[in-house]
Structure 1
């Protein structure tokens, strides 16, 4: 009698297989996005601490900090923006318009393939977040930008593969 009655309140119909598929999809993507968002926040905090503790205060004679001192801060901000962009893309990724049809096609080997893609997505999100685990103001100049970009690129490829798999259903 109440089948689907709470869907507008929950945002997901958890009473059907298709609704649970949608809920699982949201959980997978939100977990990975949260890891990346926390990593971006950590970089942002390191940039602010760097600006507060390492950059010299402005004076009339030198109103702007030297470019070589400001470079790690700029690199950190760009890296933070990349992490935030990938986290936003994970959160806002589309789901197949008809989850009932998608669920029917996902039974059996299709579900195993999706599970494998989800596990890879989680591992890559954890790796991308782990790349910048120990970032702080003093170590901002040694930020592993190339490794972070590589980890984010791998994660983006997996997300694209996952989205094309789901849209092909």
Structure 2
């Protein structure tokens, strides 16, 4: 039998090469890390959709409620301006959350980090937090999706609560990354 078919020594060579390259795709931690990145990407996409919906609603709101000035009405309606500014702030807040989620770190895979915590346990904790994050992002998106600027303004208190909840979930995620426990 040829040495090219002897699984034992060839498997050992493959594992040594994987470890030398710093990666072994058979490790559970690598799958969890990939899942974490994928889930965060989905959450960011949901928030991007929500932000786009707010921007569309804001543009329609401005067209409808803030017409060009005329001699009879040289200044815009103060309430309409406040509403447009509120929609603009909401869009920026959602965009900021999207960026924070997209750029969240994952646990380091180095010897110093492994001394203080188990990478798999940390990634599992992050997975639980990410489930909540996905749910919050989807709920926020569903409240805003295909609505008018007026409808968004009516739901503003709940939307601000949603942004606050996503922000708190991101803080929990950071606590798990840096401290290793959910506060």
Assess same fold via TM > 0.5. Answer: yes
Once the two structures are superposed, the pairs formed by residues 146-157 of structure 1 within 5 Å of their partners are 146-157=157-168
Q: What is the match of residue 52 of structure 2?
A: 41
Taking the aligned partners of 1:32 and 1:14, their CA distance within structure 2 comes to 27
TM-score (norm 2): 0.72
Q: Which moved more, 1:19-28 or 1:29-38?
A: 19-28
* Unaligned residue ranges in structure 1 (runs of 5+): 8-12
Give the structure-1-normalised TM-score.
Answer: 0.77
130-139 or 44-53: bigger deviation: 130-139
SS in structure 1 of the partner of residue 164 of structure 2:
helix
3-state DSSP of counterpart to 1:139: helix
* Structure-1 residue corresponding to 2:135: 123
Going from structure 1 to structure 2, the CA distance change for 1:54 and 1:116 (only over 3 Å counts) comes to: same
Higher helix residue share: 2
Partner of 1:105: 118
Comparing 52-61 with 38-47, which one deviates more in the overlay? Answer: 52-61
Does 1:15 find its partner at 2:25? Answer: yes
Distance change >3 Å, CA 65–CA 5, structure 1 → 2 = farther
In our comparison, the structure showing a higher alpha carbon Rg is 2
The number of residue pairs the alignment matches comes to 161
Q: 1:114 to 1:166 in 2, by over 3 A?
A: same
Q: Could you say what the CA RMSD is over the residues aligned between the two structures, in angstroms?
A: 3.0
> How far apart in 2 are the matches of 1:73 and 1:91?
27
Encode CA deviations 1:38-93: one digit per residue, 9 max, x unaligned. 10110001111111233222235544412122221111111111111111111111
- 1:69-148 aligned at under 5 Å gives the runs 69-98=80-109, 105-107=118-120, 112-142=124-154, 144-148=155-159
Measure the CA separation in 1 of the matches of 2:160 and 2:149: 20
Displacement of 1:130 after TM fit? Answer: 2.4
Query: Displacement, 1:15?
Result: 2.3
Shift of the 53–105 alpha-carbon distance from structure 1 to 2, 3 Å rule, reads same
Which sections of structure 2, spanning at least 5 residues, go unmatched? Answer: 1-13
* Displacement of 1:26: 1.1
